[in-house]
């Protein structure tokens, strides 16, 4: 039956009710007797009510319905007819089943010349309703439903506000009740709740979408919600999409290429099919919205910054989530003290108690206090996601004294990770993304720079990173860029002369950026590696709580430095740094030269005066090896300036006058003979 029952069914008069089913069989050998015999061995329990023989000896079978059942053209009626085919086994009654005619719900038939009663009773309405529900339960009947994500509880709330008392039971998917929107409806099971609307078993509509029932204003609220939720949690960097996926830590970002992201949007309910009269699909619109509204310059793991959008130096960075510090143990009633470590972190405490002690078992220089102050500042900034700058830490000591254990195990474990930095700082490898994403960059017992230029580059690199809090993040097939880096550089080395060559140049501008510690000679009894890792995992949260509760001693506080704590350089390491590398080599040559120069003058000349070029020439002529160590006057002049700043020798500068006859003369150096300096 069409929308208008007196007009033929067609495009302008779609079917709305189904009173029964007519099935055509083109076998050209049907007789009335053959039709009567169908009731003897039926292929299913649902006998047709009638049969007829067509003029061409074909046949038609007629199933009647107890009550008309509503249908809708398109997906609903197609799925319902498929279910009828399955339940009634339409292709097993007679040969020549015409599937095309059955699928055409608007098909008109010639009754034929012989009409036979087969005896089937009308199919119960409840059975038909069950078939209709099962056939369409997982189908999409509302074509725009993918544009909206409407929770059933929101529908229930709207229904109660607009139609109070019309649905007495629970309003959940699959529940049956009255057609609540129709004031004339009274069948208590005439409709059934779907995700996208209501399946109807009475009335003139087989399906009513939420838009049909509540109007576009209601459903449009959820279209905005779905799109806004997508935009709030998705970014695009010009190459990949980044979608925030929930987890226990509040969500992390997953990178998708276009194909994978399109699949992700489909799962999220965005329709990939272009609607009639439209130039793009809902899915296309979502992708364009992300590209235009959520474009970022770079997507990187930014150490100890909040996840999500970060503005830095005028550019937009998406922090997709770098490692974070471990969470501290809960606060106690009183502050956790170092002595509490015997109960809460005995492994860490027993190690740190001997890490810096001298032969008397004392830490006379308070090395542990300076190191803990540095670590406390690092941890507090990382934990609060408000990172701060911090000095390079150098730990020197004999082998197997726990230098790597402290840097990698304790500091790396506490802060969220530790990455080997030798390739970047020493070998100058270009690919740096790993270290840029790590809270700790560790150079462990590495070889030193091979010449003055490399040593200077190494020292300048440390100085630049600490001062600027910036690293270059580069990796194959990704966009290269500078990123903010508030991690820490840690270096460990042995005490032999070759190992100590890794110590950076410590001219005055560098001294506040480097902390240098020397370990004790005590051999700590480390357990096997797996046991050690288990102990650290258990104890680090309590050690973190101690650091948060610990009050800085006055001796380590500083108001004059951006790093919050006073600089500390162990005297022995400071002396070694002054005599290592190219500067140390120059010092050896200068001492030999000054001794010879004083002897040549009968120990009557207290100083040598000349330009850097003149001094370089004298030293190079005195020893051919000197020119190989310091190959240019410029590098020689740099080392000479560093010696002056360190105060190892008394070196003064005689700057030329700015005007007059001597204006063109260059600066001269005044280098005092060490043994005669006190007499000056």
Q: Where in the chain are the domains?
A: 17-136, 145-217, 341-570, 579-679
Please report the beta strands in 368-435, taking only residues with DSSP state E, as ranges in sequence order: 392-396, 418-420
Report the SS3 class of residue 402: coil
In which region does residue 202 sit, left (phi positive, over 0), alpha (psi from -120 to 50) or beta (all else)?
A: beta
Hey, which residues does 115 pair with through a beta bridge? 52
Q: Which numeric CATH code is attached to 341-570?
A: 3.40.50.300
Which residue matches tokens 């800085």? 552
Helix (H) or strand (E) holding 441: strand 440-444
First to last CA, the chain: 122
Residue 440 has pLDDT above 80, yes or no: yes
Q: Percentage of the chain surpassing pLDDT 90?
A: 54
Mean pLDDT for the stretch of residues 264-293: 87
Handedness of CA 238, 240, 241, 242 (dihedral sign): negative
Amino acid 680: pLDDT: 47
Amino acid 508: pLDDT: 52
Query: In whole angstroms, what separates CA 553 from the centre of its chain?
Result: 38
Give ∠ CA 113-10-122 in degrees, rounded to 5.
Answer: 50
Rounded CA separation 219/360 (Å): 79
Rounded CA separation 577/642 (Å): 11
Rounded CA separation 544/327 (Å): 8
Residue 75 has pLDDT above 50, yes or no: yes
pLDDT, tens digit (0-9, with 9 covering 90-100), for 547-570: 999 999 999 988 776 788 999 999
Predicted TM-score of the model (pTM)? 0.64
CA count, 13 A, side-chain hemisphere, 366: 13
Rounded CA separation 191/200 (Å): 4
Pairing of strands 17-25, 59-70: antiparallel
In which region does residue 137 sit, left (phi positive, over 0), alpha (psi from -120 to 50) or beta (all else)?
A: alpha
Amino acid 448: pLDDT: 57
For 429, other C-beta atoms within 10 Å of its C-beta total 12
- For residue 250, which of 264, 231, 233, 267 has the smallest C-alpha distance? 233
Pairing of strands 191-193, 176-177: antiparallel
CA count, 13 A, side-chain hemisphere, 481: 19
Average model confidence (pLDDT) across the chain: 88
Mean pLDDT for the stretch of residues 618-632: 81
């Amino acid at each position: 039956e069409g929308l208008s029952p007196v007009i033929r069914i067609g495009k302008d008069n779609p079917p709305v009710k189904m009173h029964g089913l007519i099935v055509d069989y083109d076998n050209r050998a049907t007789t009335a007797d053959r039709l009567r015999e169908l009731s003897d061995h039926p292929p299913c329990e649902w006998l047709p009510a009638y049969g007829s023989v067509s003029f061409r000896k074909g046949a038609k079978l007629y199933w009647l319905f107890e009550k008309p059942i509503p249908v809708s053209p398109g997906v609903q009626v197609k799925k319902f007819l498929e279910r009828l085919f399955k339940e009634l086994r339409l292709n097993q009654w007679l040969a020549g089943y015409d599937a095309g005619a059955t699928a055409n719900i608007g098909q008109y038939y010639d009754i034929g010349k012989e009409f036979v009663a087969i005896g089937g009773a009308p199919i119960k309405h409840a059975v038909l309703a069950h078939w209709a529900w099962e056939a369409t339960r997982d189908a999409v009947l509302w074509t725009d439903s993918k544009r909206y994500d409407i929770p059933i509880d929101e529908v229930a709330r709207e229904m109660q506000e607009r139609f109070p008392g019309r649905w007495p039971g629970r309003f959940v998917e699959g529940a049956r009740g009255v057609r609540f929107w129709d004031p004339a409806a009274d069948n208590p099971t005439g409709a059934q709740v779907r995700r996208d609307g209501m399946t109807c078993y009475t009335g003139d509509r087989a399906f009513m979408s939420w838009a049909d029932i509540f109007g576009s204003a209601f459903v449009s609220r959820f279209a905005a919600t779905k799109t806004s939720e997508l935009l709030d949690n998705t970014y695009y960097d010009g190459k990949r999409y980044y979608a925030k996926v929930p987890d226990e830590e509040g969500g992390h970002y997953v990178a998708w290429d276009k194909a994978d992201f399109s699949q992700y949007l489909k799962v999220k309910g965005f329709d990939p099919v272009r609607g009639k009269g439209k130039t793009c699909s809902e899915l296309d619109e979502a992708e364009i919205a992300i590209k235009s509204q959520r474009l970022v310059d770079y997507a990187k793991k930014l150490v100890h910054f909040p996840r999500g959008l970060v503005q830095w130096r005028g550019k937009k960075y998406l922090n997709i989530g770098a490692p974070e510090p471990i969470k501290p143990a809960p606060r106690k009633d009183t502050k956790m003290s170092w002595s509490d470590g015997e109960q809460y972190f005995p492994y860490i405490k027993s190690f740190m108690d001997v890490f810096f002690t001298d032969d008397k078992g004392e830490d006379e220089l308070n090395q542990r206090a300076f190191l803990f102050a540095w670590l406390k500042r690092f941890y507090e900034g990382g934990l609060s996601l408000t990172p701060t700058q911090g000095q390079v830490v150098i730990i020197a000591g004999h082998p197997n004294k726990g230098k790597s254990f402290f840097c990698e195990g304790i500091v790396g474990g506490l802060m969220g990770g530790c990455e080997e930095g030798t390739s970047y700082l020493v070998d100058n490898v270009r690919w740096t993304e790993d270290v840029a994403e790590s809270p700790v960059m560790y150079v462990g017992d590495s070889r030193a720079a091979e010449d003055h230029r490399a040593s200077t580059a190494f020292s300048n690199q440390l100085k630049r990173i600490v001062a600027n809090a910036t690293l270059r993040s580069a990796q194959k097939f990704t966009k290269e860029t500078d990123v903010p880096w508030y991690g820490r550089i840690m270096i460990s080395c042995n005490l032999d002369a070759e190992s100590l060559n890794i110590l950076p140049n410590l001219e005055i501008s560098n001294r506040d950026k480097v902390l240098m510690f020397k370990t004790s000679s005590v051999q700590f009894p480390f357990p096997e590696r797996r046991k050690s890792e288990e102990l650290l995992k258990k104890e680090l949260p309590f050690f973190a709580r101690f650091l948060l509760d610990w009050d800085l001693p006055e001796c380590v506080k500083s108001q004059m430095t951006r790093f919050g704590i006073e600089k500390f350089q162990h005297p022995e390491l400071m002396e070694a740094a002054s005599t290592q590398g190219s500067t140390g080599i120059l010092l050896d040559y200068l001492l030999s030269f000054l001794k010879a120069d004083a002897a040549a003058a009968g120990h009557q000349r207290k100083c040598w005066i000349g330009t850097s070029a003149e001094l370089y020439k004298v030293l190079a002529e005195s020893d051919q090896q000197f020119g190989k160590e310091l190959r240019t006057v410029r590098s020689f002049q740099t080392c000479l300036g560093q010696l002056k700043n360190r105060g190892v020798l008394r070196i003064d500068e005689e700057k030329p006058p700015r005007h007059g006859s001597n204006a063109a003369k260059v600066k001269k150096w005044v280098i005092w003979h060490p043994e005669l300096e006190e007499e000056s």
